[in-house]
Structure 1
């Protein structure tokens, strides 16, 4: 069960690295604007905010990845704490998105599905 939880945590981390790429590196591109439903003007205006937000996503992914590596190396306690901190924060962010912008439910579910499964399976495996 731990391995399956870590696979989902890894998928969540990869998704958040992708989100980082869109928010911090390609925010004003037409493809990213289409994905986020923004106009060229909105993207330009919010570019610095998106850059910062993208790095939050990257840092959450890094925390999760470091936790996965720690568990793989036999440091279950610290690894689990890091995985739960990383993917738990991803899940919380998805919940905030859903609560604050119900019209973004699809994005919130996309952002939160892998972390939710990872948290549930990891907690079950550790109990």
Structure 2
């Protein structure tokens, strides 16, 4: 089950790298503005804020990816595996909390929250099962 958790975490990390690209590199592009429902003027004004948020998404992806590497290469009885579990929990848990915050503060963002939070939720559940059955 740890492999399932790692795959889900890796996919969640990729989603967050994609979000980073949108928010940090492509924020003012027409296609990105359509995704986020912003105007050209609003995108120009909010570009620094979006970039900052994008960096947070990248950091979450890095934490989750580091956890994936550790849980897949470490001896299950070593401290490295425990560190990998902790990184997965921190990365995926933060992604999930951000998605929950998004949907609870703006119900119109349900689709975005689902994209952002489904893989982390499933990854955390798989990690829990892997931990309980180890």
> Could you say which TM-score interval applies, normalised by the shorter chain?
over 0.9
The alignment status of 1:95 with 2:82, answered yes or no, reads no
How far is 1:53 from its partner? Answer: 0.1
Instruction: Map residues 1-127 of structure 1 onto 2, 5 A cutoff.
Output: 1-74=1-74, 75-127=80-132
Flag structure 1 segments of 5+ consecutive residues without an equivalent.
none
Flag structure 2 segments of 5+ consecutive residues without an equivalent.
75-79
For residues 66-107 of structure 1, the C-alpha deviation after alignment (integer angstroms, 9 at most, x for no partner) is: 111111221210000001100110000000000001001000
For the aligned residue pairs, the C-alpha RMSD in angstroms reads 0.6
CA distance in 2, matches of 1:109, 1:51: 21
Scaled by the length of structure 2, the TM-score of the pair is 0.93
How far is 1:3 from its partner? Answer: 0.4
Give the greater-gyration-radius structure (CA).
Answer: 2
